[in-house]
A and B are shown apart, each in its own frame.
Chain A
Amino acid sequence: MRFASMEYVKKMQEVLNSDEQHRRAAKGETDSYLLVLDPEPDKGVAERHIVGYSMVDGEVTEAWTGQRKTTFVLSAPYGVWVSILEGRLGPIAAMTTRRLKIRGNLLKLLSGSDSTLRMVELLRTIPTEFEGEYASVKLGQEAG
């Protein structure tokens, strides 16, 4: 399915909520997140994509596309997100090196790093189609 589509975020919600390890790691997290994938026209990604989700005590209660008010905003060029999903760039390193721009309380976000790491592992299991120069990247294997 296409990365950051409505179908993708619904799948993301399903995958996160059905994983006991993620539920355990995210327990106590009640926040909302907006993930902004900025365009890279020179790499064939013409438009910005925005997805979001809200979490109540570790359970994803809603996932959507488009902007709305959230506790955190994480933004980066499309390719940075692809690198994170590929495993070439760690999500925590992406935050602390500012390749992933964080708006919201960074320390609070980093304190939930276990759930973030597990989330990325789980997202790698979703068969995902990327745009432009990233179309050759293939995801969809089992999480460990």
Chain B
Amino acid sequence: METMKAAVFHGQGDLRVEERPVPEPGPGEALLRIKYCGICGSDLEAYRYGLYEPGIVIGHEIAAEVAAVGPGVAGLAPGDRVTSNDIVPCGECRYCRTGRVSICDAVTMPGVTCDGGFAEYMTVAARALYRLPDGVSDLQAALTDPSSNALHAVNRSGLRLGDRVLVIGAGPIGLLIVQAALLAGARRVFVAEMNETRRCLAREMGASEVINPEVDNLDLAVADLTEDQGADVVFCASGSPGAMASTFTLVRKGGVVVPVGICEQPVAADFLSLVMNELDYRGTYASYDEYGLALDLMAQGRWRTEPLVSAVIPLEQIVAEGFEVLLQPGAAAAKILVRP
């Protein structure tokens, strides 16, 4: 039996690189040879809190090459360069039928609910794959998933041409939201971030103002930047309860808040401001249709991902040079890619 190296999740804080059999593609599936797999914030949370089933190979931000296809797969051949949607929807529930695929009732998620991409090979439903356009490198393609999620967050916000946007937290998703908001027609995008390296990245991604909320009073800074109105749209890409709580008064009356980061702790919600100011809070989870959009934007040269890549590490170092680095308080790294 042919074997491969894979990072297997064994519970809270326990991820091990082990030998596993190379999986066989079943009907409708493709076997992928992984080129890169990015470490996602959700992988970090799973590692820290033990959120996944023990025994699975995690990782879902992949760039790969088709190694083989199973029975019944048409339109894909070995050697094709691809990326995979991290959502494989049931296609039948009320949410799938109404286009809300990211909240499918019976979703399968490679690297979350079944084996994923921190491995030399993985199998995935062929219908979840996107062939990479010419001009999109494997390294770029490994950021299709977070790019798609950022585009989905902006789509969920209903951002309008000329809006002034605040992004709290300049991790990979926050940085990509800066770019997505500008593409969607934001007049100005302000970023609040404590880490200096990430503040520099935010400027590079097009933020017009970058605020360090540890030094400057964020409420006052945003008031000054918006003629005392508040931001039209606030994206909170931070898991800090304090940051999430602050959104209630950083947004203008009648504005929209999109919580993107996941707070593990309860948030002191200011329902009085929510009611009095008729605020809209809109959750955003993963993405689906925006995968194709992200790849198309990359192919056109209108979507940058390279500045976000802080390091490319071998699979064997996934814990020491990947998870542990990103979990350090105040980590400056944005995206770390694993190359099996």
A residues near B, CB below 8 A?
34, 36, 38, 50, 67-70, 73, 75, 101-108, 110
Q: Which of B213, B217, B268, B272 has the most CB of A within 10 A?
A: B217
**A residues less than 8 Å from B219 (CB atoms):** 34, 73, 103-104
**B residues less than 8 Å from A69 (CB atoms):** 213-218
The 29 sampled A-B contact pairs (Cβ below 8 Å) are A34-B219, A36-B223, A67-B216, A67-B220, A68-B217, A69-B214, A69-B218, A70-B217, A73-B219, A75-B228, A101-B228, A102-B249, A102-B273, A103-B220, A103-B223, A103-B249, A103-B250, A104-B249, A105-B245, A105-B268, A105-B273, A106-B249, A106-B270, A106-B272, A106-B276, A107-B270, A107-B271, A108-B268, A108-B270
Q: How many Å from the CB of B255 to the closest CB on chain A?
A: 13
Give the nearest-CB partner of A104 in chain B: B249
Q: Which residues between 189 and 223 of chain B lie within 8 Å of chain A, taking CB atoms?
A: 213-220, 223
B248 adjacent to chain A (CB < 8 Å) = yes
Distance between Cα atoms of A69 and B216 in the complex (Å): 6
Known: A69-B213, A73-B217, A101-B228. A106 touches B223 (CB 8 A): no
**B residues less than 8 Å from A75 (CB atoms):** 220, 223, 228
Distance between Cα atoms of A73 and B223 in the complex (Å): 10
Distance between Cα atoms of A108 and B248 in the complex (Å): 13
B213, B214, B215, B272: the one within 8 Å of A107 (CB): B272
**B residues less than 8 Å from A73 (CB atoms):** 217, 219-220, 223
> Count the A-B residue pairs with Cβ separation under 8 angstroms: how many?
53
Nearest first, the 3 A-B pairs at minimum CB distance are A103-B219, A103-B249, A73-B219
**A residues less than 8 Å from B249 (CB atoms):** 102-104, 106
CB 8 Å contact bits of B268-312 with A (1 = contact, 0 = none): 101111001000000000000000000000000000000000000
B213, B220, B268: the one within 8 Å of A36 (CB): B220
Distance between Cα atoms of A75 and B221 in the complex (Å): 12
Distance between Cα atoms of A38 and B228 in the complex (Å): 10
Give the nearest-CB partner of A77 in chain B: B228
Distance between Cα atoms of A103 and B218 in the complex (Å): 10
Besides the known contacts A67-B216, A69-B215, A104-B249, 8 further A-B residue pairs in the complex with CB atoms under 8 A apart: A34-B219, A36-B223, A73-B223, A101-B228, A102-B249, A102-B273, A105-B270, A107-B270
Distance between Cα atoms of A75 and B270 in the complex (Å): 18
Distance between Cα atoms of A81 and B168 in the complex (Å): 31
**A residues less than 8 Å from B272 (CB atoms):** 105-107, 110
**B residues less than 8 Å from A110 (CB atoms):** 272
**A residues less than 8 Å from B270 (CB atoms):** 105-108
Distance between Cα atoms of A49 and B99 in the complex (Å): 52
Distance between Cα atoms of A106 and B253 in the complex (Å): 14
**B residues less than 8 Å from A107 (CB atoms):** 270-272
**A residues less than 8 Å from B276 (CB atoms):** 106
**A residues less than 8 Å from B216 (CB atoms):** 67, 69
Distance between Cα atoms of A22 and B250 in the complex (Å): 30
**B residues less than 8 Å from A68 (CB atoms):** 217
Give the nearest-CB partner of B223 in chain A: A75
B217, B218, B248: the one within 8 Å of A105 (CB): B248
Distance between Cα atoms of A70 and B213 in the complex (Å): 10
Give the nearest-CB partner of A66 in chain B: B217
Q: How many Å from the CB of A85 to the closest CB on chain B?
A: 21
Q: Which residues between 2 and 43 of chain B lie within 8 Å of chain A, taking CB atoms?
A: none
Give the nearest-CB partner of B269 in chain A: A105
**B residues less than 8 Å from A67 (CB atoms):** 216-217, 220
Give the nearest-CB partner of A102 in chain B: B249
**B residues less than 8 Å from A70 (CB atoms):** 217
Distance between Cα atoms of A103 and B215 in the complex (Å): 17
Whether B273 and A34, one on each chain, are in contact in the complex, defined by CB atoms closer than 8 angstroms, is no
**A residues less than 8 Å from B271 (CB atoms):** 107
Q: How many Å from the CB of B305 to the closest CB on chain A?
A: 32
Q: Which residues between 233 and 285 of chain B lie within 8 Å of chain A, taking CB atoms?
A: 245, 248-250, 268, 270-273, 276
Whether B217 and A106, one on each chain, are in contact in the complex, defined by CB atoms closer than 8 angstroms, is no
